[in-house]
Structures are given as structure tokens and as C-alpha cells.
Structure 1
Amino acid sequence: MKIFFNCIILIMGLGFLSSCKDNLNSIDYTKYVDTFIGTQHEGHCFPGATTPLGMVQPGPESYTDYYSGYEMDHCTGYQYNDKWIWGFAQTHLNGVGCPSLSDILLQAYCQNSIDPSARENFRSTYAKETEVAAPGYYAVRLTDHHVNVELTATEHVAYHSYTFDEPETASLLIDLQYGIGINSIPTNVLEANQQFDDEFTLSGYRKARVWAERDLYYVIRFSKKVKQKESLTAPKGNQEKAPRYLLAFDMEGENNLEVMIGLSTVGVEEAKKNLKAEIKGFGTFEEVKTEAKQKWNAILSKIDVTGSKEKKIAFYSSLYRLYIQPNNIADIDGRYRGEDGSVKQSSIGKYYTTLSLWDTYRAANPMYTILSPKLVSDFVTSMMDSYTHKPFDPNNPREANKYLPRWQLWGKETHTMVGNHAVPVIADAYLKGIEPSKYTNNEVFDAIWTSVTKTHYRNHVDLIDKYGYIPTDAKISDIDDGRETVSRLLENTYDDYCAGLMAENLKKTSEYNFLMNRAGYYHNVFDTKTGFFRGKNANGEFRTDVDPVEVVGEWVPGSDFTEGNAYHYLFHVQHDIKGLMTTMGGNDAFVNKLDTMFYTSTKPEVRTLEWNIYGTMGQYWHGNEPCHHVPYLYKYTDKAYRSDKIIKELVENYYHNDPEGVKGNDDCGQMSAWYLFSSLGFYPVNPCGGEYILGAPQIDEAVINLPNGKHFKVIANNLSNENYIVQSVSLNGEQLNRNYINHKEIVQGGELIFEMGSMPNAKQGN
């Protein structure tokens, strides 16, 4: 991987130096970003081109021999070790665990005659040494197809450049049916229409169904005239809604063809307007590529890191992944298509979606509040717009009431995961003084209150209010299914706590008391006999048939947990760690349980699905989010130094600068945010309210360049492979005798200094 990355630096450096717009006196942070990290196995990252938070992400769709588990490995369309490339799609998710997107596939070739009866016949081998990727850019040579492919992007437009060995036979496949997942392609599109506007333009519409139904309008423009087009029959006799086209071009004696694809959720004319506004015309590929690089440098320059090249690559690659999403799907005029299918107008000109909130509320969203508070305001406005316009149906138990987004994809709720974790994101922003641009505090709280007190799919508040927990065998409405009952309760009680903090600040006393009372309901499912949280029935009887190492989820009837086991959710009381310690028997019992989790010889086991679990340390599962705060919990005990060792091991061994370098789904930046916080030396165990638990920094020095013009510097004195244990911490010259810093102390600017050593000091236990 090191060889390939050096190749990236060399090629990209030559390309960018040719642009007069590039400021040669500024730092090029993009040279420390390796977009191939996390593209093999469970990371589910993609190496294609994108701008920060952009709507489009053109990139390769790779392919290999089909095997059990193939579909889930290819959630984002690409695996680094795949043998072939099918083509290049215009949209991709980053690091997710469910497949979707990969809209509108293009594949260029020459010197070939291809049998179109099977999609895989259009695949091509490629040499790894020709594959180049960097922020805003991707390139590869398709060996079988005798063509060099380059991709870049603006926010709404994918820009392709093809250089053919034999331009006289230059051909282009456009597959409008294509979407993620080999098995789902024939049924991916529910409806479609398209037309060739002229000899240079193809435009149309399609509604895709995978994970969430999405309306996509597009315009595809070619730099050369289409001289011949053929509409292909659907492969293998499938009845597909959208066509595939084979195009040949009048290359005019040249070997280069450029293609631009503008996208919109509103209409074809809007897609055309987006394209016209963002790209001046053909022949500007290098200019667009350079502008994308500059946009990424503006993001990456938010933190200056001192350390080895390897450390910088790991850090800035994580920062890059953090800003791939959420995605703004509003057109340049601020209009977008909402969840009810109608066109809406954003008051801020943007509408952010791709909200993996079950994952990102834990660390990604708190990191945004430090680095990009204006952006957080826009996120909250978008979530409030979603709530305001959300369709609801009193006759449909799943959608009987409005609620804030849970896992939203392109403006549509996917109903994925549990809890209502827009609540901690919005409440945390409010408590840090970050407010939406068009909604009052009371309007925001009303959305939160409705979301946590009115029944909807997977929140079960009627059962919680009646029993104080979610019984495994009770049913009040059609949404009550007896699944994930412990996780749903624990995640809901955290949302209640966050809502309660906002209620307290707004002096809503009755609401505060109600919410904080419910926030303590986690006690109701703690089984003192086993020492774990467990499901129980309406009679108050705990389940006795639970294996604490078995990973279960909504796919298992009567399951206690969501993508986890009893160990993973044992510590999922982020708002009341001290109360949890008391419930578990005090300091010693708490430490012993942590030790058991990290150092037991057993591993988490999935017995009901074919699912390879990566990133485990004993029963701790770094590859999935409910565990992410647990390494920091020793900091609440008299054995604080034990966190330091675990943090060091996770940073060094669970994140690598290679394609397998993310040990679990990156989940829209959450795994990356954990790395960023942990490298800096603090982490939001409780992600709402602005308290960060002091950890153990993993870099020598970092300066956060705050949006208000101030700087917050972190220094780790004497940090080395042996000196990884924190001896003392000082803030602005004063020694800290507490285990946290707060958000105000960071954004006011200052200097946080860690003294590192090889042995725990007296205050950290033995």
C-alpha cells in the first residue's frame, strides 16, 4: 500500500502543480489522505471522487467471483482486492452496513466487441499500480478495455474523462438500471423515463427502491457527438424498468471523451441548472479537480498535526472520511424533494441528509460542533425541516406520529436502527449555543418532545410508560414486536436524558422531571443475578436463556440487543456512569467487569447470520458503535491508567494505513471520529452537554484551528512507545484534578498539556 500511496502523491502532485489557482505557499493536507484506507473487508469505504458533503461521489464498481457474504461486503460498491471493475457509478455511501446508491453506471471501452446478454461481460481487469485516488479525484486504466479513466466532481456533478487507445472504436455503456447489489439490480428501479435531448445529451428520471425509495433526475452530457446508439435488451430475460445503452461517438480524430452527469432530486431541468452553475464547460477537468482539492484542504486545515508521516496519514484520512457525509441533496436554488415526495424549499439553501445518527451521535457529531459549528446549525435546520414536513398517518402504527430522523437516506427514512438519536445531536448543539437558523428553541424542543413521547416504529414509549421497560411478551400496538427490547430501552433512556437537559435549560420543569425519571429506567432491566442487562416479560421475570457472548439483533425474534450482546450493552448508560457503577456493585466490581470484557478469552459470536466480526478485543467490539465509549470508562475509577493502554492498542492495531485499516464499518465517519478524538486525548463518553473525558493522546502535538479564529493546542510531552500512560494534565498552565475538559474550554482556545510516562502514578492506581 505504501508504494501505491507514494504513486498517488507523485501523480497528484504533478497534476495540481500545473494549476495557476493552487496556492503553492499553503500546506497541501490532501497529500496525507489515503482514500484506499478501509476499502477492504468491513470498512466499506469507497475511493471515488467527492467534494466535502457533496451530493455526488463518482467511483468504481468493482467485482469479483461471487461468494457467500458478497452482497454485504459490497455495500458501497467496491472492495480493494476485487479482480474486475464493472464500471463507474455516480453516487456512493461511505462505510455503511446496508447497500444502496451506486446510481447510473458508465463503462468505457474500445477494441472490443462485447456480448451484452450478461452485465458481467462488460467488466474489465485493471492493474493496481494504475489505480490512483486522492480527495476529489480517482483514476485507473482498464486493461481489457484499453482506456484510461479519470473522475472528479463538484457538489452536484460527476465529471468523467476517458482516454482511448483506439478512439475509432470508442464505446460507452450507460446502465440506467444499475444499483448496488448483484442480486437486486433487476428489481432496483421501480419506474423510469429517459430521452436523448440531442446528439450530445441524455436526460431522464428513475426511482430506485433499495433501502429507501429515491427519486433521481439526471442529465448526461458528452463532449463528442453520439453517432450511433443501441438500446440493449435486459440481461437474462429480466423485466427491467430502465434501459441500457451502447453509444459510439464521432471522436473527430481525438482520443479523449469527457462526460458530465448532473443530478437532482427535483427535476431534469434542475439537474441541468446544477451542471451549468458548477462547471464552465468541457475541457475544465483539471480546473474542477483542483477546486475539489482546494475545498478538501479547507476542511483538512482545521487541525494541524505534528508527528510522523504515518500518523499524519492516519489522522487526515480519518478527518477526510468524517466530511464525506452528511450530504446536501438540495439543488443550487435550495429546493429538494422531501419524504412525502413533494418539492420543498430550504431556508438555508441546503438540505443535509445521509444521517447515520445511531452511529454518529456518539463522536462524529460532537467533533463537528468543535470544528464546524455553522455546519452543525445547518444539520439541525435540515433535521427540523425533515420533522416539519414529515408525513404521518394516524391509521398506520409505524407512522402514526411525526418524529425526527433516525437513519435518513436522501431525505427518506429507512427505519434502520433504534433510538431517536437526532435528539442528542440537536440537544447537544443547543447546549453549546448552536441553534438552527429558522426555528425557535420552543419549536425545536417540541420536535424533540414529540419524538420521545409519541409512539412510532421501534420506540415503544407506550410500553415503557406502562411497565418501565419494554417487555418481551407484551403488545399494545402493532409496532410492538418483542425484539431488541433491552437496547431499545437503553437507547431511548439516553434520548430522554438529552431531552431533559434541554427542558431544564428552557425551564420546562414538568417535562424535565418526566424525562429524567424515564432516563433512570435502565435500572429496571439490570439483572443482579447475572450482572447483565436482560430482557424480561410483563410479569417482571428475567430471561434465563441468554448467552452473553451471542450477538443478536432485529433479525432474531425475542432478541435483547441491537447488533450486540450482553457485554456490549452492559455499559450503555452514557449519561450516568457513576450510577451504573453503583448498580453494578461499586468501583471494584465495575473495574472487574471492564477487565473481563477486554481480556476474556472468548469473542463475540454471531450464530444466526453469516457475519464476520472484525475489531474485537476480548468481548469488546470496536467495529460496532455501542462499545466506542467503553475504553474510557476506567477513567471513572481508581484504575484510570488502564484506559491508556487500551486506547494505545486500539489506535495502533485497529487502524492501519492500508485497505484493511478500518476494523468495522466506518459508518459515515463514526469510526474515524473515534480515532480523531482518541488521538487528540479526549472523548465524549456522554456526547450531549459538552463534557469530554480525558484519555491518552496518541500524537505529539495538534492545533485545532477554531472557526472563531482562536486555537486550541494539545501537547503530549515525552510520548513514546513506552511512555503512553498519562502522568498529569494541565490546561492553560493549571494542573487539572478532574477527568474531563468541557466544550467551552476548547472553543475559548488554549493549551492542554499531557505529561506522559511508562508507569501509572499514585492517583491512577496500581
Structure 2
Amino acid sequence: MKRLFCLMLLTLGARNVVAAAAPPRDAVSYVNPLVGTQKSSIGYGGTMPFVTAPFGMTSWVAQTRQNKISITSYNYDDKIISGFIGTHQPAIWMGDYGYVTIVPQSGALRTKPEDRAVAFRHEDETARPDYYAVTLADGLRAEMTGSDRAALMRYRFPKTGDARILVEASRPGINGFANVDLKRREITGYNPHRMDAHLGPDKGAAALPSFKGYFVVQFRELPRAGNTYGMNDANAYRGAYVEFTPGADVEMRVGTSFLSIDQARENLQHEIPTWDFTAAQRKLRAQWNDKLQRLQVSASNSEKAKLYTALYHAMLYPREFSEYGRYYSAFDDTMHTGESYTAYSIWDTFRAENSLITLMAPERVDGMITALLQNFKEGGWMPKWPNPGYTNIMIGTHADSLVAEAIRKGFHGFDRELAWKAVYKDAMSPPDGDTTRRWLDREEHTPYEARAGLTYYKSLGYIPTDKTDEAASRTLEDSYDDWCVAQVAQALGRTDDYKFFLHRSLNGRNLFNSKLSLMNGRTSDGKWAPIGGTDDTNENRAVSGWTEGDAWVYTYSMFHDQAGLMQLIGGADKYAAQLDKHFAEGHNVHKNEPSHHYGYLYDFAGQPWKTQARVREIAAKEYGSGPGGLDGDDDCGQMSAWLLFTSFGFYPVNPASGEYMIGSPIYPRMSLKLANGKTFTVTAQNNSKTNVYIQSASLNEKPLDKPVLTWEQIQAGGTLRFVMGAHPSQWGSSYRPTAVE
């Protein structure tokens, strides 16, 4: 027995040694950048497996198809790779600009994508935020890592056939430029292509003659030959190439810039100064871990993969657009001194993504707001979807919400008086030709849209459907933006302006049709417009007054005035009953942003247990950890931000209010390391897939009896404790929202 006991101790000790020897996994190891790249039963996220830094200016990805507006460079279901692109495309339905494509190839020179494509298998592919690798069917091995504005790549070529690196500067019809300097071991050039020329208010490429995406490609080994191609043919692919001996191992660095070739070279030297692939990868991995490890969670590996991948997606946008103190502005076609960002999908991201940044990357907020204000100075308006200049995509001026939220949360590193001028212009100045245009969705070559229909909004108290497209949605979203402008006015001591805009923020009530108990568009003579339906085409919805939705999607859309809506519907019980109908009849479409807050609205009606069940149901249905695990375009992090907030157990229904409505925490324990050095932790005792209902709650050992959390409470750190159960309770049921007067 003694020998057996000793043997057992030795065995247990050996197991403990093995366990102790296994290094802990870092946050990056859980990220799967392939999530959202495949269409599945859940949906299609339109994401790409980027190698880049958090908020990096240029992202690197394998190119499985030619990207354009509504098509991304990488799709999981594709079977070929035609190159590796340094892209700035932020969303599937938004275009690219100033991109550069690197093509390793062996054999004969092939410049067309369809000719140079090589098959690959996902079994031979590795994708992480800090590293991508793939072995192609012809035996070529490709690896890359990167930084904010640069990349380091290495290729192992097959033993037969010339080893060639082709650098594509531009596609047919685009006057790109490339040059080879064998002595310097460089290919340099630029690409002036901007796909947003088809989405914005300018007159195409001619409107920004100074715009170019510059690149410098450097090779560690001396090429044996090199040349340009297509440079004198307007209808050809343009670029340059260098060649090495068959079977060569080739290392190359790429720097990008929107200022000059010299700046691209300087960016490269600053970010990847040596030919040390491992060091560059470790640096990039450390950058990502710094962001990702601010989140800690007790969960299975597959659940951690969902969360850390969502945080990776959310920390990609908006993109940096400045280069060490200088930036090119697509709003006045001029170089400036300062900090700049672009790729704000604001109609999507003002809802939760921006709020997530204030928690996860607050050091970026002042610069991001300053960038919007610089755009205002340079182009006359804050943009709604810069990429990199104005694009008349979506509705409203929700940069007002970003400004109001930053002020509400105490950010001071931007010019508040300039911010007031910007939001005031949004709210009071109609766009040029406001009453002579219908402002069709993505109509080319119009003036900047701002708040289309504002002329009517100011005179009628709503935007008429017979005068302006998407008028009902615009009225409701403009009402929220008015509330945001009022908050800015109040913070700056402008009492009269505060009262004016607060009162005008109730304009959305003018669309409530009591017979239908729904919001309803109106014509200019005050009559009700056709209500529209979920099966309508986008064109019919626009005539009915809606943007990517219908009356059901938009009735609860005034985040700031749920108390007023409750009164219009007839009280809390009827408000909740109509929400029941909204979900039961399939009106809640989570893949599009206007539905994102609906699950949390039961909190306002004194039925928080329904919120708790709904948000858990949505999270389980709409998100997964595989390539098809994202329903709907991620839209620059908004879909991912919803999951992250919901996992914590709270969500910013009115993002500029500084308040978060409580849902149902998904995990037993989650914590957030705050920038002020404190930690905010959420624990959920007895939590499980069936125990979704809150039985009681406390914040720092003091009872919390309402389903609301504030910015200040989070920033103070501490612990929010929930006790969960399998059945609804009356916790939080006495809460009601305060009416805007």
C-alpha cells in the first residue's frame, strides 16, 4: 500500500509538471479572423482575415477575388489565390482606395488575375491577426506579418520555374505607376484608384487630383532582373516585377502612404526597420494582446474564440489615416499636420461600436473626434461615411452622436467650440438643392447630403415622403441627432440652444399613427403615406419612407424618447405587448443595425425578464466561432460590438446618454481592464444556458434594483454581481424611463 501510495503521488506530480509546463494561451491565439468570411446558415459577415495592427491604416489579406464595391478581396468559399493585397476596404458594400497587390509566381509572367490564380486548401492556411500563411497548390509557400502601414512577407518558391514577385499598381482604366530600381532592390509606385468616387458627392477621380496610394517594396535579396508592364496601355493592368533564381527564398517589405513615396519608405523604416520576421510578428502580436487582453472571460475555448474574434473585428475601425503627424485630406485634396482617421461607418457604429471604443481604446477617442472636426474644417461638414472622402451613404448626421457621447463621457482632447459649430451646422443647414432633389440612396455626383430634407423638417416637423426618399426614417433619426445636439449645447452652457433642440428632438412623435400604433411616413399635405412592408423592395421602402427596414423596424428607433413612445402607444403594457408582436412576427432582423437595441427595450416597460431571454436567444442564434459565424455585414465592428456588450450583460441603447441597459450576462465571469488602472468585473452566479433570468443584482456589494448601468459606475471599477435562475423574477420591474419634455 505504501508503494502504491508513493506511485500515485509520483503520477500526480508528473501530471502537475506537465500541466505547469504548458504555457498559458494569450488572447491572440483565440482569434479566428476567418469568422464572417463564409456564407452559412447563420449569414454572411463580409469580413476578411486581415493582418494589420489595431486601427491600422493598411490591412493585408490573401486575394481570392477582385474586390470592388459589394465584393471583398477574400471569400472563404473560393478555391484560388491570385495575390496578396494591401487593402483599405472596410466593409463589403464599401469600396477600396489606393491599394497595392503583391503576386508571387513561378513560370511564365502572368499579369491578369485569372491567369495568375493558383489553387489552395484551407488545410494549408493559417490566419491570425499577427500572421498569415498558406501553401499553394504549385508548392509556393507564402507568409506575412505587418504593422500599421507596412508588411513583411517571405516566400519559398518551387524548385522549378523562375521565381518572380509581381507588384500590381493598378487595374485597367486606372493610371497607376510603378518603377523598378534593381540597385536599391526596390519597386516603387502609386495607385490613384478611389472606388468612393462612385459613392460620393464629388465628380469622380478628377475631383481629387492629388490623391494617390503610394508604395515602396524592398527586397532583402538582390533580384537578377526586373521590369515594368502595362505602363503605356490605359486598358491594361499596370505594375512591375523582379525575378530570382528558381527555388529561391525571398523576403520583402512593403511600406504604404497617402503622402508620398518617400513617406512610404519612411513608414516602412519606422515600423519594420530590420529583416527580422519573428521580431515583426512578435511586435504585432503584442499590439493585439495589449488590446485584447483588456478583456478577460471565464468560458470554453470556443466561446473565447467568439469573443476575442469579435473584439479583433471591433478594433479594426476606424482606420488611422495620418502618418506620424501628417495626413492627406480627401476633403480638400491637401496635406495637413495632425492626426486623422477614416472608415467610420457611422450609421452602423454610432449604436455600439463607438461606445465600445470609449471603453476598450479610450486613448483613441480624442483623435477620432478631432479627425471628424478636421473634416468639417476642410470640407464644410463632418462626414457620415468617410472612405476616405465624403460618401452619401446612409442617412442622418450621426457624427453628432459621437461628439455628444465623447463630451458626456468626459473626453476633453478636442476643440469643443469647433464641435458645437459642426453639430449646429448639421442640425440647421440644409444641403444644397435640398428641395429639388429626392436624395436617392447612393446617388452619384450630388452635393454632400448631410440631413437631406432638413428644409421640410424645420418647417413641417417631419420630412415628407413625397419630397424626399427614406423620409420617415430620416425624421426619426434626425430627432435623435437633435437630442444629441441638445446635449452638446447643454455641456457648453448654451441654455437656449439646449431647450430649442431638446424640444425639436420630439419631432419623431409627429409620425405616430395611433390607428396602427406604428410610426408612419407622411406626405407634405399631412396625409399618411403607404405603410410599406418587410417584403417591399428597397425602392418601395424608400417611397414609403424607410431605410433598410419598415415601420416595425423604426417605430422604436428614437433611443432618447422611449418614454414618449410608451405614452403614444398607451402605456407600458401595450408598449411591451407590441414588442412581443414585433418578435413573434419576425420583424426583428438582427443582421441589420436598426434592430440591434430592440431586445433591450422591455427594460423600459417593467418587463426586464423578457429582455434577458431575448438577448440570450439572439446571441446564441446569430453568432458562431467558425467562418460562417456572423449574420449580416459586420459593418466596421457594430455586429461584433453588440455581441461583446451583450456578453457582459449590458448595452448602450442610447449611446450618447452614458447609460447602458442591463440584459443577461452570458458567462460566469467577465472583466474589463480600464484605462484608469481599475478593473470592472461582472459575475453571474448559477449562470447557464437555461438560467438566463436575473434574480438579484448588486454593484460593489450594494443592491442594484434597476436595469441601468452608467458610465461612471463602470469607470469606478469594482464588481457587478448577478444571481441567475431558470425562471423570471420581478427584479428591475419598477423601472420606467424619464420623459423628454
- Hey, what does 2:244 align to over in structure 1? 249
Q: Identify the range of structure 1 (211-220 vs 694-703) with the bigger mean alpha-carbon deviation.
A: 211-220
- Within 2, Cα distance between the matches of 1:403 and 1:517? 24
Cα displacement (A) at 1:320 = 1.0
- Hey, what does 1:462 align to over in structure 2? 455
Matches within 5 A, 1:302-341: 302-341=294-333
Of the three residues 409, 421, 427, the one matched with 2:398 is: 421
- Hey, what does 1:370 align to over in structure 2? 359
- Hey, what does 1:294 align to over in structure 2? 286
Matches within 5 A, 1:205-216: 205-212=190-197, 214-216=211-213
Matches within 5 A, 1:254-293: 255-282=248-275, 284-293=276-285
Of the three residues 698, 702, 719, the one matched with 1:734 is: 702
Cα displacement (A) at 1:245 = 3.4
- Within 2, Cα distance between the matches of 1:377 and 1:733? 34
Q: Deviations over 1:640-693 (max 9, x none)?
A: 211111111111121000111110111111111100000000000101121001
- Within 2, Cα distance between the matches of 1:658 and 1:86? 24
Q: TM-score, normalised by structure 2?
A: 0.87
Amino acid at match of 2:62: P
Amino acid at match of 1:336: Y
Cα displacement (A) at 1:583 = 1.3
Amino acid at match of 1:431: R
The answer (yes or no) to whether the contact 2:177–2:239 under 8 Å persists in 1 is no
Cα displacement (A) at 1:728 = 1.7
- Hey, what does 1:119 align to over in structure 2? 113
- Within 2, Cα distance between the matches of 1:278 and 1:138? 18
Cα displacement (A) at 1:531 = 2.4
Confirm or deny that 1:219 pairs with 2:216: yes
Confirm or deny that 1:229 pairs with 2:229: no
Cα displacement (A) at 1:172 = 2.3
- Hey, what does 1:397 align to over in structure 2? none
- Within 1, Cα distance between the matches of 2:280 and 2:536? 46
Matches within 5 A, 1:292-691: 292-346=284-338, 350-390=339-379, 402-410=380-388, 412-437=389-414, 439=415, 441-456=416-431, 457-459=449-451, 460-474=453-467, 482-544=468-530, 546-550=531-535, 553=538, 558-600=543-585, 618-691=586-659
- Equivalent residue of 1:149, what SS? strand
Amino acid at match of 2:421: D
- Within 2, Cα distance between the matches of 1:115 and 1:688? 53
Cα displacement (A) at 1:242 = 5.8
Confirm or deny that 1:131 pairs with 2:129: no
CA 202–114 in structure 1, closer or farther in 2 if over 3 Å, else same: closer
Of the three residues 151, 160, 165, the one matched with 1:172 is: 165
The answer (yes or no) to whether the contact 2:70–2:95 under 8 Å persists in 1 is no
Cα displacement (A) at 1:317 = 0.9
The answer (yes or no) to whether the contact 1:552–1:559 under 8 Å persists in 2 is no
- Within 2, Cα distance between the matches of 1:114 and 1:506? 63
- Equivalent residue of 2:575, what SS? helix
- Equivalent residue of 1:642, what SS? helix
CA RMSD of aligned residues (A): 2.3
Matches within 5 A, 1:149-160: 149-160=142-153
Identify unmatched segments of 5+ residues in structure 2. 1-21, 198-204, 206-210, 432-448, 735-741
CA 196–255 in structure 1, closer or farther in 2 if over 3 Å, else same: closer
- Within 2, Cα distance between the matches of 1:259 and 1:167? 21
Confirm or deny that 1:98 pairs with 2:94: yes
The answer (yes or no) to whether the contact 1:425–1:688 under 8 Å persists in 2 is yes
- Within 2, Cα distance between the matches of 1:573 and 1:527? 15
Amino acid at match of 2:678: K
Of the three residues 685, 689, 713, the one matched with 1:717 is: 685
The answer (yes or no) to whether the contact 2:541–2:547 under 8 Å persists in 1 is no
- Equivalent residue of 2:475, what SS? helix
- Hey, what does 1:40 align to over in structure 2? 38
Confirm or deny that 1:148 pairs with 2:150: no
CA 40–620 in structure 1, closer or farther in 2 if over 3 Å, else same: same
Q: Identify the range of structure 1 (661-670 vs 535-544) with the bigger mean alpha-carbon deviation.
A: 535-544
Cα displacement (A) at 1:25 = 7.9
Amino acid at match of 2:215: Y
- Within 1, Cα distance between the matches of 2:571 and 2:325? 57
Q: TM-score, normalised by structure 1?
A: 0.85
- Equivalent residue of 2:195, what SS? coil
The answer (yes or no) to whether the contact 2:381–2:450 under 8 Å persists in 1 is no
CA 405–115 in structure 1, closer or farther in 2 if over 3 Å, else same: closer
Of the three residues 678, 694, 699, the one matched with 2:662 is: 694
CA 764–548 in structure 1, closer or farther in 2 if over 3 Å, else same: farther
Of the three residues 73, 76, 82, the one matched with 1:80 is: 76
The answer (yes or no) to whether the contact 1:484–1:554 under 8 Å persists in 2 is no
Q: Deviations over 1:74-105 (max 9, x none)?
A: 3x311111111121101143444323248212
CA 578–333 in structure 1, closer or farther in 2 if over 3 Å, else same: closer
- Hey, what does 1:196 align to over in structure 2? 180
- Equivalent residue of 1:176, what SS? strand
- Within 1, Cα distance between the matches of 2:540 and 2:269? 46
CA 446–627 in structure 1, closer or farther in 2 if over 3 Å, else same: same
- Within 1, Cα distance between the matches of 2:160 and 2:424? 62
Q: Deviations over 1:515-539 (max 9, x none)?
A: 1121100011122222222222110
- Equivalent residue of 1:294, what SS? helix
The answer (yes or no) to whether the contact 1:552–1:562 under 8 Å persists in 2 is no
- Within 2, Cα distance between the matches of 1:271 and 1:639? 56
Of the three residues 92, 107, 118, the one matched with 2:103 is: 107
What is the percent sequence identity of the aligned residues? 30
- Within 2, Cα distance between the matches of 1:322 and 1:280? 28
Amino acid at match of 2:603: K
Cα displacement (A) at 1:369 = 1.4
- Equivalent residue of 2:417, what SS? helix
The answer (yes or no) to whether the contact 1:89–1:102 under 8 Å persists in 2 is no
Report the number of matched residues. Answer: 678
Matches within 5 A, 1:58-69: 58-63=60-65
- Within 2, Cα distance between the matches of 1:668 and 1:735? 37
- Within 2, Cα distance between the matches of 1:51 and 1:241? 33
Of the three residues 65, 84, 89, the one matched with 2:85 is: 89
Cα displacement (A) at 1:133 = 0.7
CA 334–92 in structure 1, closer or farther in 2 if over 3 Å, else same: closer
Amino acid at match of 1:756: M
Identify unmatched segments of 5+ residues in structure 1. 1-23, 65-69, 179-185, 391-401, 475-481, 601-617
Amino acid at match of 1:124: V
Cα displacement (A) at 1:503 = 1.0
- Within 1, Cα distance between the matches of 2:730 and 2:284? 51
Cα displacement (A) at 1:744 = 0.3
CA 246–203 in structure 1, closer or farther in 2 if over 3 Å, else same: closer
Confirm or deny that 1:752 pairs with 2:720: yes
Amino acid at match of 1:445: W
The answer (yes or no) to whether the contact 1:192–1:206 under 8 Å persists in 2 is yes
CA 675–238 in structure 1, closer or farther in 2 if over 3 Å, else same: farther
